Structure 1
Amino acid sequence: MTTQAEISTKSKAKFSFSLGKNHKLLIGYVTLLMLPFVAAQILDMDFKGWYVSLLSLINILAMMAFFIQFPLSSRIKQLPLFANIDWSMNQHKQIGKWLGIIFLLHPMLILAPRFFVSFDDGVISLIKTLTAPQMLTAIIAWVLLILWVLLSIYKDKLPMRYETWRLTHLLGFVAITILATLHITSVGRHGQFQDQFNLVWWGLCGFSLLMVTYNYLLKPTRLKHQPFTLKEVTKVSCCDWQVTVEKQQGDDFYFEAGQFVWLNTSSSVHGVNEHPFSIASCQNDLPKISFIIRELGDYTNNLDRLTLGQQVYIDGPYGSMSLNDSMQAKGITLIAGGVGIGPMLSLLRGLVSNRETRPVRLIYGNNSLEQMVLLDEIQKLTQQMPHFKLQLVCQQLVCQKVSEQYKIYAGVVDKQCIENNIDLTQADRWAVYLCGPKPMIVAVKHSLKVLHIPNSNIHYERLSF
């Protein structure tokens, strides 16, 4: 028999609503985005008609979004809104594409009413706009912005080193920021009639440039006094390396299993030579920190050229993925694709140090068995965690004997593979951690949705910067 109290409890559970971490960040972002618009209303600016008012609203929001792009990419742990680097960088990339579209259409939307009245008037207005001396900064900023957005979208297809792209990306958008601010405070309708509003725009411009100064000058200067020493560079598969560094005397370095850092192994702490890598070790391994790095580009293809004993610099840790996310879970499944095994190793080692007794599953996928790393260590975890099981997944199988020895699941990490490694009777209390290539993350998230794993129980980092 169901009591009234039980009915009330079920009703509350059904209609309860709580904001997730990403929803809170989105609300904070939108609130920040609206500040210049609120300032425009306080200053009681006259935008003369509904079309101009709508266009001014779009332009104000777009410019504010443009300025927020700087703190989104500045890795500021002290500010909660920008501390989740994975969320911040994802927003940075997605919003950047939309800004490219909005600013591409910006001059067309301004001149559109003239063309609707008369095509000849529209052409005359266009010629006057393009030849007006005060429009030079706007034209340069507009062309640079479109080019730099396209460079960002297609950077992986360009014959350009990652470090070169980062430097041009930085310098280009600094120039665009200054030119755009000059334009909106001298020509733009929402700036030229209000000196107070111009102060808002120059304040935002100054803050953006301050973010650049902090990230590329002030922070590196601090890191220079907190160096690490390179202790190990060992090839652990046909295409993966294990790199280990050790903290020198000085401040303690604390991180949580599953987090990542920006590693700089160049001779200078300044510049754009740092790269993001997930930590593969756990807190108990300190003062040593290890990474699993796959050969995927100019930098990672030359790891064997590093010199043992050299100083390296670490900015971090970053990342919101943590074992704290699964404290209430009945079981844990870790899913790693390729180099995504790095943070999963960190989580596994953290679970071992916590003497984990809950069911723990690791699904580890690669193209071939030769790409798997540290299998001996992973398989020995069954001696330390009695409820741990390993499931290897390979697209290319060497032979039937090897496949049976390692109990390899042939193919990719699909719905059936995941279903075999989750207790679906407790799906709403099961935690899942993901790390791997973007296509894998998308496919696995879809499978988890089909298996009714709540989004709040799925934790992952994209690590695509």
Structure 2
Amino acid sequence: MRAKPYSLFTQGFRTQGFRLKARYCLLLLIPYLATHALSMDFKGWYAEAISLAWVVGMAAFFVQFALGGRIRKGTLFTNIDWSMTRHKRVGKYLGYLFFLHPFLILAPSFAVSMDYGMTSLVSTLTAPAMLTGLIAWGLMLLFVLLAVYKQALPVRYETWHLLHLLGFSCVAILATLHVTSVGRHGQFQPGFNLLWWGLCSAAIALMLYNHLFKPLRLQRRPFKLKSVARVSTSDWQLTLEKPAGVDFDFAPGQFAWINTSGSAFDMNDHPFSIASCRKDLPVVSFIIRTLGDYTANLDSLQPGQNVYLDGPYGSMSLQDSDKADGILLVAGGAGIGPMLSLLRALAARQETRPVRLVYGNRSLDQMVMQDEIRGLEQQMADFRQLRVCSEESTASDIHTGVIDRVSLAQSLDTGRRENWEVYVCGPSAMIKAVRRHARALGIPESHIHYEQLAF
């Protein structure tokens, strides 16, 4: 039965992305609504517009700490993919807003006359009370630029990360001092000052928790490395063992930050998807593709060494498929990790509904766990795999090319496709393409769940 014309529209409004955006925007508006609750005088539409931009911008700045803070509770922040993507995107816009702030404040003076504008500019730059604002303004621009161009910087990621944290913590304190001591609202509204200092304190406290108190806890409960083995020409399987008495329960499809440096305080940790399922505990395994300096040196790890695991994180869940007619798993390259976790969990509970795995790679020798997957095809009631390779292969069961609408349609049963749930993990471009093709095949956006391989 085809969906009614309005149903896809309403389903789009029920997607997790829309709900998260709506909650995020409402959260940012709370300080602005507080200005009206306190009956503040804005002295005209322009002053109110500037106040709106600045108050919402300051709120967004403090929320940045939570978006990047690996929070495991609270519906707005537990979707790490969404929150980290939002953190990066909003950070750029905040840079623009901070840059424009003094010019927008001084624009009315220049509108009167150039002489009056220059007099206002000089008095602003030389006023002792403006020092905190000027320093915050300069630091904000500097560290936003360092964040945008971090890939081009000749420094280690760990060094950049430390500077990023310290720099924006200084900006938070200086900007709060500025807005509560110089701003017209801050000078005359103690309640408003309390709001800003509360947000600032929460942001700094979250940063200290993540990089001081949490490492202290992780240091006391290290996992042990059982083995590291090559499972394809491009991939490794990292197998860890959970220490006795440590609560590490995870849902299939989640991920964790792995730190193999020898110290939980080292910032050299990396996010990887869990490939095992709950029944494998206390063993936890990861499929990791060689994609950079860290992953290129995985063979140097020694069995028995301490490994620190921060997690689990991620909102991907099989609970979303409880009422589905079928389940489609789509993995691109290193994205096979969480799909294996989901598949193993489905096999463990003896799933009888149709389950399909579309697994794409450049070449056949990059496919992992093929013996296990073929075994699951025999074991499970209705499961099959479609392998997709961009390079030509002599194997008869390979779909040559990329994961496209044809390969997805080949895996989906005809009939009520709108009642299937789709789980996707891989590069961003692949995820966008799969979402587009799945929608074209009749699967609502609200039934598509995905995890990106990079933030």
Distance 2:89 2:67 in 1: 12
Query: Corresponding residue for 2:292?
Result: 297
Query: What's the secondary structure of 1:34's corresponding residue?
Result: helix
Q: Is the contact made by 1:161 and 1:298 (CA closer than 8 Å) also made in structure 2?
A: no
Change in Cα spacing, 1:11 to 1:127, as seen in structure 2 (3 Å) is closer
- What are the residue-to-residue correspondences of 1:242-261 with 2, within 5 Å? 242-261=237-256
Instruction: Give 2:117's aligned residue.
Output: 122
Deviations 1:109-146 (A, max 9, x none): 11111222212322332233233333232222222222
Q: How does 1:44-55 map to 2 (within 5 A)?
A: 44-55=39-50
Distance in 1 between the 2:244 and 2:76 partners?
Answer: 32
Query: Equivalent residue of 2:411, what SS?
Result: coil
Q: Which residue type is aligned with residue 139 of structure 2?
A: L
**Is 1:461 aligned to 2:451, yes or no?**
yes
Which residue does the alignment assign to 1:330? 325
Distance 1:32 1:248 in 2: 39
In structure 1, C-alpha distance between the alignment counterparts of 2:178 and 2:266, rounded to whole Å? 30
Pairs within 5 Å for 1:112-151: 112-151=107-146
Aligned with residue 413 of structure 2, among 415, 423, 436: 423
Deviations 1:282-333 (A, max 9, x none): 1111100000111222221211121210111111111111111111111111
Which segment is superposed worse, 216-225 or 159-168? Answer: 159-168
Match of 1:191 among 186, 193, 201: 186
Distance 1:238 1:417 in 2: 24
Query: In 2 relative to 1, CA 347–197 (structure 1 residues): closer, same or farther, beyond 3 Å?
Result: same
Instruction: Give the partner amino acid of 2:148.
Output: I
State the AA in 1 paired with 2:191. Q
C-alpha separation between the residues in 1 aligned to 2:64 and 2:8?
38
Deviation for aligned residue 1:346: 0.6
User: Is this contact kept in 2: 1:424–1:451, CA < 8 A?
Assistant: no
Structure 2 counterpart of 1:282, which letter? Answer: C
CA distance in 2, matches of 1:14, 1:440: 23
What one-letter code is carried by the residue in structure 1 that aligns with 2:441? L
- Aligned equivalents of 2:435 and 2:15: distance in 1? 17
Contact 2:257 2:311 in 1 (8 A): yes
2:402 aligned residue = 412
Alpha carbons of structure 1 residues 14 and 94: separation in structure 2 relative to 1, 3 Å: closer
1:79 to 74, 82, 106: 74
Q: Sequence identity, in percent?
A: 56
SS in 2 for 1:365: strand
Candidates 428, 433, 438, aligned match of 1:438: 428
Task: Find 1:265's aligned residue among 247, 250, 260.
Answer: 260
Q: Which residue of 2 aligns with 1:274?
A: 269
Provide the rounded CA distance (Å) in 1 between the counterparts of 2:404 and 2:375. 26
Query: Do the aligned residues in 2 keep the contact of 1:245 with 1:288 (CA within 8 Å)?
Result: yes
Aligned residues: 452
The normalised TM-score by structure 1 is 0.92
Asked if residue 33 in structure 1 is aligned to residue 23 in structure 2, the reply is no
Pair 1:308-2:298 in alignment: no
For residues 43 and 103 of structure 1, the distance between their equivalents in structure 2, rounded to whole angstroms, comes to 25
Q: Find 1:163's aligned residue among 140, 155, 158.
A: 158
Match of 1:403 in 2: 395
Superposed displacement of residue 428, structure 1 = 0.7
Instruction: Return 5+ residue gaps in structure 2 as ranges.
Output: none
* SS of residue in 2 equivalent to 1:78: coil
How many Å apart are 1:425 and its aligned residue? 2.1
Q: Is the 8 A contact 2:14 2:446 kept in 1?
A: no
Alpha-carbon separation, structure 1, partners of 2:8 and 2:281: 45
State the 1:356 CA deviation. Answer: 1.3
RMSD: 2.2
Deviates more, 1:29-38 or 1:436-445: 29-38
- Say if 1:113 and 1:11 are closer, same or farther in 2 by CA, change over 3 A: closer
The whole-number CA distance in structure 2 between the counterparts of 1:67 and 1:14 is 35
Point out where structure 1 has 5 or more consecutive residues left out of the alignment.
Answer: 1-9
Alpha-carbon contact 1:238-1:370 (below 8 Å) kept: yes
Following TM superposition, by how much is the alpha carbon of 1:229 offset from its aligned partner in structure 2, in angstroms?
0.5
User: Does residue 352 of the first structure (1) align with residue 344 of the second (2)?
Assistant: no
Structure 1 residue runs of 4 or more that deviate by more than 4 Å after TM superposition = 10-18
Deviation readout 1:206-234 (Å, 9 max, x if unpaired): 11101111111122222222221000111
Q: 1:56 to 1:250 in 2, by over 3 A?
A: same
1:62/1:241 CA distance change after superposition, 3 Å: same
